[in-house]
Chains A and B, each alone.
Chain A
Amino acid sequence: MLQLTPQLIIFFSVAALAIASALGMLFSRNTVYAALLLVLNFTTVALIYFMIGAPFIGLAQITIYAGAIMVLFLFVIMLLGTEVIAKHGPVGFQHIAAAFIGLVVIAEAIFVFLIKGQSALSIIPGGNVVDVMEIGDLLYNQYLLPFEITSFILLVAVIGAILLTKQERVKSRIGKDEAKK
């Protein structure tokens, strides 16, 4: 049986907060509140990463997701002035797609649990803290190719974003070239 150690109490309160903020995000009709609840959710998940001895992932999660990406989400919400979602908004097929993806994730979790059994659930508080050096070593030696491919995909995305904002100029230049011919 589980013993109620301080670690478990902290884990369950953080987990409850994570689930509550996720639900709040889903059911909030105000997009600014939804975005903020998602930030809270990312932060609580980062706390869980700290507890399982992965402080680098936790801090990266806060810096990148809670700090950078969600700020941009808020930025877009505020610029477009779409703070309140209509009661029956035009989401349509997204409901079905979301439910499907959710089910896939839950099925995956159950699958992992069935294969690995109890060990998949074990949380080692404070044990085996992963060092940054090890992560860097793995990324630049064993996983160099996936790492480079990821950075290449990001580079393509950046170029795509630049092209989207420069569309006008590119079109006019193409027009000029054709006119020359």
Chain B
Amino acid sequence: MGIETASIIEWVIKAAAILVFCTAGFAYVTLYERKVLARMQVRWGPNRAGPRGLLQPVADGIKLIFKEELIPVKADKVIFILAPVMTVIPALIITGVVPWGPVIHLFGRDIPLQLADINLAVLYIMSISSISVYGITLGGWSSNNKYAMLGGLRSTAQMISYELALALALVGPIMIAGSMSLNKIVEAQANSVPFILLQPLAAVIYMIAVIAEVNRSPFDMPEAEQELTAGYHTEYSGMKFALFFMAEYIKMIAVSTIGATVFLGGYLGPFVFDLPWLGPIYLIGKVAILLYGFIWIRATLPRIRYDRLMALGWKVLFPLALLNVILTGFGIVLFGGK
């Protein structure tokens, strides 16, 4: 067979672009969150480092690099060190299947603005998100600390429970588009309307389930600071803590990107097929709107009790998601789908 060198270079550049986008995005999402939270609480937020506080993430990063890293004596050292890495990697690779825009022409080549257009993109997303539980669970266990352990166990139960509703929420759009490829799902939305209009229930279930999946408030049970000090990352400090922190924000970006692609039409927008470079801009705009939603919810809602959280997942979201699949099936049969 033989793969051209040009294709390999193209893939490497795209992969690097995704990694840079995720890590730089992480830094600025923390600032975005602090700024928005501050404005909602009638404060200014960070405004000292750089103009309007724009260099605050850099300052935070430098601070974390120079912090002392502690490893508890009775911790399981190998897993303790591996756990943050196992949390970050799934978060970084999950967006590899998301299309960023239509095909562009550059240096005489047709380059799709997407790293990998695989047929099973949605299933890929589900497998990666099911793998991402390990880092948190093992981080909690290996610390040899009861609070960390409880946080880890809670997060395992929580993430497994909400994964079901999450997967079923994505089934509706798959049925309408007739494909698991995110590219096909976006194209199907180009031919009709964004799926949030056809699948409002699925979109709501998806948003609730991903908040639980990335352990954000009001479902930030694993790190409930009043009960568990800091949950699974109680014993982590310095860069290892920063990696957990980073994973949470990168996951937020990733699930917002996937949500924007499946329910809001992804890179679609006015004139996107004439000016392909608008694709990534539209997508980032939609992601920023969803991230604003995440932060807004955090600023508004108190944390719900753990048993209520599990009951919500199993007794409300899961049956509703199943119902949505059945209704979508009926809809496609009655109105001819697409």
The residues of A with any CB-CB pair to B shorter than 8 Å are 32, 36, 39, 55-56, 59-60, 62-63, 66-68, 71-72, 74-75, 78-79, 126, 129, 131-132
Task: List the 4 shortest-distance A-B pairs measured between CB atoms, nearest first.
Answer: A67-B130, A62-B127, A63-B127, A59-B123
- Are A59 and B120 CB-contacts (below 8 A) given A75-B153, A78-B153, A132-B180? yes
Instruction: Give CA–CA (A74, B76) in the complex, Å.
Output: 15
B320 contacts chain A at the CB level, 8 A cutoff: no
The residues of B with any CB-CB pair to A shorter than 8 Å are 1, 76, 79, 118-120, 123-124, 126-127, 130-131, 133-134, 137-138, 141, 149, 152-153, 156-157, 160, 163, 180
User: 20 new A-B pairs (CB below 8 Å) besides A59-B126, A59-B127, A75-B156?
Assistant: A32-B76, A32-B138, A36-B134, A36-B138, A55-B118, A59-B120, A59-B124, A60-B123, A62-B130, A62-B131, A67-B127, A68-B130, A71-B133, A71-B134, A71-B137, A72-B160, A74-B138, A74-B141, A78-B153, A132-B119
Q: Which residue of A is nearest B131, CB measured?
A: A67
Contact of A56 among B1, B123, B131, B133 (CB under 8 A): B123
Supply 29 A–B pairs (Cβ within 8 Å), ascending by A. Answer: A32-B76, A32-B141, A36-B138, A39-B134, A55-B120, A56-B120, A59-B120, A59-B123, A59-B124, A59-B126, A62-B127, A63-B126, A63-B127, A67-B127, A68-B160, A68-B163, A71-B130, A71-B156, A74-B134, A74-B137, A74-B138, A74-B141, A74-B156, A75-B153, A75-B157, A78-B137, A78-B153, A129-B119, A132-B119
Q: Decide: A67 and B123 in contact? CB cutoff 8 A.
A: no
Q: Which residue of B is nearest A81, CB measured?
A: B149
A144 vs chain B, min Cβ distance (A) = 17
Q: Decide: A66 and B120 in contact? CB cutoff 8 A.
A: no
A57 vs chain B, min Cβ distance (A) = 11
Residues of chain A with a CB closer than 8 A to B153's CB: 75, 78-79
B230 vs chain A, min Cβ distance (A) = 18
Q: Decide: A78 and B118 in contact? CB cutoff 8 A.
A: no
Residues of chain B with a CB closer than 8 A to A74's CB: 134, 137-138, 141, 156
Q: Decide: A132 and B120 in contact? CB cutoff 8 A.
A: yes
Q: Which residue of B is nearest A7, CB measured?
A: B1
Residues of chain B with a CB closer than 8 A to A55's CB: 118-120
Instruction: Give CA–CA (A66, B130) in the complex, Å.
Output: 8
Instruction: Give CA–CA (A66, B90) in the complex, Å.
Output: 14
Instruction: Give CA–CA (A55, B79) in the complex, Å.
Output: 30
Instruction: Give CA–CA (A56, B163) in the complex, Å.
Output: 18
Q: Decide: A71 and B127 in contact? CB cutoff 8 A.
A: no
Q: Decide: A78 and B130 in contact? CB cutoff 8 A.
A: no
Q: Which residue of A is nearest B133, CB measured?
A: A71
Residues of chain A with a CB closer than 8 A to B1's CB: 126
Residues of chain A with a CB closer than 8 A to B163's CB: 68
A95 vs chain B, min Cβ distance (A) = 28
- Are A66 and B123 CB-contacts (below 8 A) given A55-B118, A71-B156, A75-B156? no
Give the interface centre of B79, B123, B152, B163 by most chain A CB atoms within 10 Å. Answer: B123
Instruction: Give CA–CA (A32, B141) in the complex, Å.
Output: 10
A77 vs chain B, min Cβ distance (A) = 9
B261 vs chain A, min Cβ distance (A) = 18
Residues of chain B with a CB closer than 8 A to A129's CB: 119
Instruction: Give CA–CA (A72, B133) in the complex, Å.
Output: 11
Q: Decide: A66 and B160 in contact? CB cutoff 8 A.
A: no
Residues of chain B with a CB closer than 8 A to A132's CB: 119-120, 180
Residues of chain B with a CB closer than 8 A to A62's CB: 127, 130-131
Residues of chain A with a CB closer than 8 A to B134's CB: 36, 39, 71, 74
Give the interface centre of A36, A126, A129 by most chain B CB atoms within 10 Å. Answer: A36
Q: Which residue of B is nearest A5, CB measured?
A: B1
B265 vs chain A, min Cβ distance (A) = 23
Q: Which residue of A is nearest B141, CB measured?
A: A78
Residues of chain A with a CB closer than 8 A to B141's CB: 32, 74, 78
